[in-house]
Amino acid sequence: MGFKTKIFGAPSRYVQGAGAIQALGRHIALLGDKVLVVGGKAGLSATREGREKSFKLLNILQIEDKFNGESSDEEIARLAAFGIRAGVSVLMASGGGKAIDAVKAAAEDMNVPAVIVPTIASNDAPCSALSVIYNNDGSFSRLRPLKNNPALVLMDTEIIAKAPVRTLVAGMGDALATWFEADACRRSNALNSFGGSVSEAGLALAKHCLNTIIEHGFNAKIACENQVVTHALEKVVEANTLLSGLGFENGGVAVAHALSEAFSAVPELHHAAHGETVAFGLLVQLILEDRPTAEINEIYEFCRSVGLPITLGDLGCEEIDKDTLRRAADAAAAPGNPSANMPFPVTGRMLYDAVRAADGLGRSFSAAK
């Protein structure tokens, strides 16, 4: 009997804790002494004081550059060119998922280490050797595999606790799908992001991610609403970022992410966060798999409890055109998309029907509220 090669990847170093930004310089000093820091206005502001104090102690020079809002090929090329002209030895992201994806790709093009300092815990992008590339209009373009995971990921939970609650909840939605998608990939013998089969470590991390989100998600949301760091918040930040990041990359993705990517082309959904569309995509996947009723109900109940979408209306598409929905379903089922990682063939019609069923079940849950 032959066995496929298993591959497991991870960032070189992961740091998390309240006030962790104060130690940023110590970790970056191992990588270089001149840093280009990229982020939006809020992202740069959230880490500025800690960066300045930390870098000054170790004579690390830094240059700030404002991210343009999309992890597009054009923005990645601009960042790489700017970094090369400036002669920096490290490229750092300070912000959310799209800035992180752009920085990871630009760092590879520059051949310098990528340092990721998220200011929100909204998705599992920080730890992965993968960048999601978008078109300038915000629609999904493609996935770009990278040669290496980030050299450093640092999560200051005091910063995360002060971020909008919706971002933390969206991160739970992204993390919620990790186990179910990895399990689908295991059953179909699909390859993970590194081109290997799913390892036991990857599956274990994905399962622990799910358990952590279900057990501590609601209390973490309450902590974030009050801008305080608690054990629940710490656990969920780690699940949203590290456990989900390692789980999806080493386990694989399936229908939940295929639909999220397809939904990015629907104008009415452009305001929805990645983790919100993934969460709804997960509900669709569970129905498509004909999971046990109790299991499906548990995920619906959890999503409702923390404010994740359980209907198309929750995503902002109460009156979505049926033809638009069919096109999205067809796109999600097209060859080469993550839906091919399911343990059975998936068609656009199957996805369309499952989306309508998931929406209908969500309406029933909302009515019973």
Q: What is the residue type of 109?
A: D
Question: Across the chain, what does the average pLDDT equal?
Answer: 95
CB-CB neighbours of 111 under 10 Å = 9
Residue 2 has pLDDT above 90, yes or no: no
Confidence grade of residue 1 (pLDDT, cut at 50, 70, 90)? very low
**Tokens read off for 255:** 């229908």
| Range with lowest mean pLDDT among 122-131, 147-156, 260-269 | 260-269
Between CA 74 and CA 80 the distance in angstroms is 10
E-strand ranges in 236-309 read: none
Percent of the chain with pLDDT over 90: 90
| Range with lowest mean pLDDT among 1-5, 52-56, 217-221, 266-270 | 1-5
State the span(s) of the chain assigned CATH 1.20.1090.10: 165-367
Residue 317 has pLDDT above 90, yes or no: no
Residue of 16, 7, 9, 61 whose CA lies nearest to 36: 61
Task: Report, in angstroms and rounded to the nearest whole number, the Rg of the chain calculated over CA atoms.
Answer: 20
Residues 120-142 as b or e (16 or more Cβ within 10 Å = b): bbbbbbbbbbbbbbbeeebbbbe
**Tokens read off for 221:** 């949301």
Q: What is the residue type of 103?
A: V
The confidence score (pLDDT) of residue 157 equals 98
The CATH architecture annotation of domain 14-161 reads 3-Layer(aba) Sandwich (3.40)
The pTM of this model reads: 0.94
What average pLDDT does the segment 160-171 reach? 97
State the span(s) of the chain assigned CATH 3.40.50.1970: 14-161
Residue pLDDT, tens place only, 210-262: 999 999 999 999 999 999 999 999 999 999 999 999 999 999 999 999 999 99
Between CA 103 and CA 78 the distance in angstroms is 11
The confidence score (pLDDT) of residue 309 equals 97
| Range with lowest mean pLDDT among 30-44, 125-139, 216-230, 246-260 | 125-139
The CATH number that domain 165-367 falls under is 1.20.1090.10
Helix 97-110, helix 73-86: angle, nearest 10: 50
SS3 state at 127: coil
The confidence score (pLDDT) of residue 254 equals 97
CB-CB neighbours of 114 under 10 Å = 28
Residue pLDDT, tens place only, 332-355: 999 999 999 999 999 999 999 999
